[in-house]
């Protein structure tokens, strides 16, 4: 085993790739994989150690995880964070109300006292990266863990905790550890993470600027969205992570990015550092088909139905619009992505490319006389055949009952109360009722509307029944069939009106006189218990079919790396810090169509549609355009740049990532990919794949000229 791993690593480290644009590269392997030569050839001017240098300060130290699923970069010595508007959207919505509608009007802190604490928001830095592959292999060889379980969360968490205890960082404020597999378990790395939990909102443009184009322009080019927001990290007086306190001060960071106003030209070097969430570049053809049919199609169908309800309700009420803004945006994003991915997989002939790769792999296995390699694809195909129906059911279930319908009851707490009532345990009764009060408040929070959710349920519950076989239906469907004679609306109305958790009147009456009979007869308790029971059954079915699929993937990836040697391959994204590099570049999506590499404010005005909320242009922005009041941010020809394209390899999680030039200076913030290459998570296409970024000059123009925040501009390091 160990000799195989060593051989693989030698292959991964050999030579530099012919097409280095593809790949979300591990910082810790850049030198071994000889990426510096290719990066220099494409325009990198700084040394590779200026990007990542263990034990020393480098560009890596100015980039971190914003919230739970985006990237942010530090753009001032005082912990000022730049990320995307859609990444900060939840925080902006959290602070918004009908009276203070920051989503519509924007938010601009003119001084530190105006910056808004945002409970629950964090920023995480990667402090250290350690290779623990030998440790994992040692545990496999000594029997501490089986090879198949070495991928398991329990084992990896235990290893992470053990390594933290042995580290000099043990006990330090905000420090946690994480061990993750790479190359499908052929490598393992330990990450030391430092989390700051006092992050405050500083600046956000109106949604008419930060979300300009809305659903229509999402994943599209040309683009004119100024997709940014700004936050600030606060720490205790020693610069260490601390919960919110008025005594906290802006963090004096060890590294922040210099901002370049020098502009960019086609062919210029561009690199992005960030935290791409997930790619699947090593799938077989059958697994690509599985993604299309069992994940994307169900997701499209369910989200389409839910979004139609939310769209109508949000248009009718400002209160609902604000409540559901973040939920709608989150759901809509990957609804459209799934549509685009399925289209691009077909248009870009990805299935055919996968077949070609598998044929080549079969020949490679024959030349090596390796039965292990020769049989691995067929074994994966057999797994896919068996698991497809279950994954399809799970996707419909998750999209309906986990991501779609919000209402339910915490049935385990009700079971605990029932047990306490049976025992007449007064203390346990009081404690459980206290828990129920908290759960009721969590369900009926400020971002939830009971009637809106009821309308969603009336669409999704029947849709689920039409989409899956009878054995995938939770037990409450039998209640609908028998007690409510198949009338979904009658059942849902009863669920949303008569259940204990339906409203304060019902809940208060129950907690005043709780009874076992009321719990047993409650529709929400029955509904929640039955859907959780079905979720467990579906999970068990999938687990039973999984077998040794992780080891099959590990074998296949190892074989592919050998087959493609000496060209190294980057591991799939898994929300760990990566570097991707390429160039500023236009593209030709189809015959007779050419897209240039940048857009300008003129395009905003051309897209304006006062009757379409996605294309409203604020009056102040129109005034600035009319007077050409762009300051030092204009192009040499006097136009105002907005967005630009690069060949960088990115995916979800890279949102907010810094786009840097050859000098390591910030030139933009990545925020999207292009429609024609939404198959890129599975198959990268050098000709079509583009990263869409907002130009840093447009961001600073909006901050200074529209937001009036010269205070923020003054704390940045800017070169012209």
Q: Which of 86, 224, 256, 553 is catalytic?
A: 86
Of all helices (H) and strands (E), which one includes residue 610?
A: none
Q: Give the number of other Cβ atoms within 10 Å of residue 275's Cβ.
A: 27
Q: Is 227 a catalytic residue?
A: yes
* Cis, peptide link before residue 613, omega less than 30° from 0: no
- Taking CA atoms, 174 is separated from 197, 235, 239, in Å, by 9, 11, 11
Please report the sign of the dihedral spanned by the C-alpha atoms of residue 118, residue 119, residue 120, residue 124: positive
Q: Is 86 a catalytic residue?
A: yes
Assigned token pair, 589: 């999506």
DSSP annotation of 548: T
Q: Give the number of other Cβ atoms within 10 Å of residue 158's Cβ.
A: 15
Q: Cβ distance 641 to 698 under 8 Å? A: yes
Of all helices (H) and strands (E), which one includes residue 269?
A: strand 269-274
| Spatial CA neighbour of 137 closest among 193, 79, 186 | 186
With 0-12 / 13-18 / 19 or more C-beta atoms within 10 angstroms meaning exposed / middle / buried, residue 469 is: exposed
Q: Which of 227, 453, 522, 672 is catalytic?
A: 227
At residue 200, φ and ψ (nearest 5 deg) are: -115, 145
Q: What is the largest CA-CA distance in the chain?
A: 81
Chain centroid offset of residue 207 CA: 20
Query: Given 3-state DSSP classes, what are the helix, strand and coil percentages for the chain, each rounded to the nearest 5?
Result: 50, 15, 35
Q: Which of 76, 229, 528, 655 is catalytic?
A: 655
State the Cα–Cα distance between residues 472 and 327, nearest whole angstrom.
Answer: 27
State the Cα–Cα distance between residues 286 and 65, nearest whole angstrom.
Answer: 33
Q: Where do the DSSP E strands lie in 4-69? A: 25-26, 63-66
HEC assignment per residue over 412-452: HHHHHHHHHHHHCCHHHHHHHHHHHHHHHHHHCCCCCCHHH
Q: What number of H helices and E strands is found in the chain?
A: 26, 21
Chain centroid offset of residue 392 CA: 22
Long-range contacts of 612-618, Cβ-Cβ distance < 8 Å, separation of 24 or more: 613/214, 614/211, 614/212, 614/213, 614/214, 614/215, 614/216, 614/217, 615/212, 615/213, 615/214, 615/216, 616/208, 617/208, 617/212, 618/206, 618/208, 618/209, 618/706
State the Cα–Cα distance between residues 241 and 79, nearest whole angstrom.
Answer: 12
**Residue found under tokens 């915490």:** 410
Assigned token pair, 500: 């204990």
The residues carrying an active-site annotation are: 86, 227, 655
């Amino acid at each position: 085993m160990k000799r195989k791993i060593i051989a693989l690593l030698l292959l991964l480290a050999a030579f530099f790739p012919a097409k280095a644009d593809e790949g979300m590269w591990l910082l810790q392997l850049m030198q071994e994989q000889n990426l510096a030569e290719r990066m220099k050839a494409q325009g990198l001017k700084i040394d590779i150690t200026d990007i990542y240098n263990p034990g020393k300060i480098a560009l890596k130290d100015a980039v971190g995880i914003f919230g739970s699923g985006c990237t942010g970069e530090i753009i001032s010595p005082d912990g000022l964070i730049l990320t995307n508007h859609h990444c900060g959207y939840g925080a902006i919505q959290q602070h918004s109300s009908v009276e203070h509608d920051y989503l519509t009007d924007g938010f601009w802190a003119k001084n530190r006292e105006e910056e808004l604490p945002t409970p629950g928001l964090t920023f995480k830095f990667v402090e250290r990266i350690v290779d623990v592959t030998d440790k994992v292999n040692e545990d496999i060889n000594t029997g501490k863990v089986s090879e198949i379980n070495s991928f398991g969360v329990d084992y990896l968490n235990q290893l992470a905790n053990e390594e933290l205890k042995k580290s000099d960082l043990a006990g330090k404020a905000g420090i946690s550890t994480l061990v993750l597999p790479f190359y499908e378990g052929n490598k393992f790395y330990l990450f030391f993470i430092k989390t700051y939990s006092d992050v405050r909102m500083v600046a956000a443009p109106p949604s008419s600027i930060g979300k300009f184009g809305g659903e229509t322009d999402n994943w599209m080019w040309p683009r004119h969205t100024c997709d940014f927001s700004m936050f600030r990290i606060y720490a205790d007086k020693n610069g260490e992570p601390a919960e919110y306190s008025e005594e906290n001060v802006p963090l004096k960071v060890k590294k922040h990015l210099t901002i370049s106003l020098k502009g960019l030209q086609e062919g210029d070097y561009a690199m992005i550092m960030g935290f791409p969430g997930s790619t699947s570049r090593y799938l077989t053809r059958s697994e690509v088909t599985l993604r299309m049919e069992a994940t994307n199609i169900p997701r499209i169908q369910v989200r389409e139905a839910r979004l139609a309800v939310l769209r109508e309700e949000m248009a009718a009420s400002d209160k609902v619009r604000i409540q559901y803004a973040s939920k709608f945006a989150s759901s809509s994003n990957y609804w459209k992505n799934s549509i685009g991915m399925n289209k691009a997989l077909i248009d870009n002939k990805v299935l055919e490319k996968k077949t070609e790769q598998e044929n080549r792999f079969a020949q490679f296995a024959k030349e090596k006389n390796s039965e292990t390699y020769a049989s691995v694809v067929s074994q994966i195909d057999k797994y896919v055949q068996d698991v497809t129906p279950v994954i399809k059911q799970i996707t419909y279930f998750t999209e309906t009952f986990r991501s779609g319908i919000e209402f339910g009851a915490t049935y385990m707490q009700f079971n605990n109360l029932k047990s306490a009532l049976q025992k007449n345990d007064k203390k346990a009764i009081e404690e459980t009722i206290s828990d129920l009060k908290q759960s009721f408040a969590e369900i009926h929070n400020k971002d939830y509307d009971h009637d809106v959710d009821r309308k969603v349920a009336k669409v999704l519950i029947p849709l689920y029944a039409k989409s899956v076989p009878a054995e995938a239906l939770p037990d409450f469907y039998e209640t609908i069939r028998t007690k409510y004679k198949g009338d979904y609306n009658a059942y849902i109305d009863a669920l949303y009106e008569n259940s204990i958790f339906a409203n304060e009147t019902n809940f208060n009456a129950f907690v005043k006189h709780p009874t076992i009979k009321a719990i047993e007869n409650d529709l929400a308790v029955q509904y929640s218990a039955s859907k959780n029971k079905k979720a467990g059954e579906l999970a068990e079915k999938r687990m039973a079919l999984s077998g040794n699929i992780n080891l099959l993937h590990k074998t296949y990836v190892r074989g592919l790396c050998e087959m493609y040697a000496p060209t190294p391959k980057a591991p799939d994204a898994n929300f760990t810090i990566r570097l991707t590099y390429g160039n500023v570049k236009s593209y030709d999506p189809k015959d007779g169509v050419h897209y240039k590499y940048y857009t300008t404010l003129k395009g905003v005005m051309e897209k304006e549609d006062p009757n379409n909320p996605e294309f409203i242009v604020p009056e102040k922005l129109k005034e600035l355009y009319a007077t050409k009041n762009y300051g030092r941010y204009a192009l040499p020809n006097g136009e105002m740049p907005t967005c630009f394209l690069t060949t960088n390899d990115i995916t979800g999680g890279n949102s907010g990532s810094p786009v840097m030039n050859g000098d390591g200076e910030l030139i933009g913030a990545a925020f999207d990919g292009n429609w024609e290459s939404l198959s890129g998570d599975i198959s990268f296409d050098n000709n079509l794949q583009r990263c869409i970024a907002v130009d840093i000059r447009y961001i600073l123009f909006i901050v200074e000229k529209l937001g009036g925040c010269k205070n923020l501009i003054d704390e940045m390091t800017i070169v012209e």
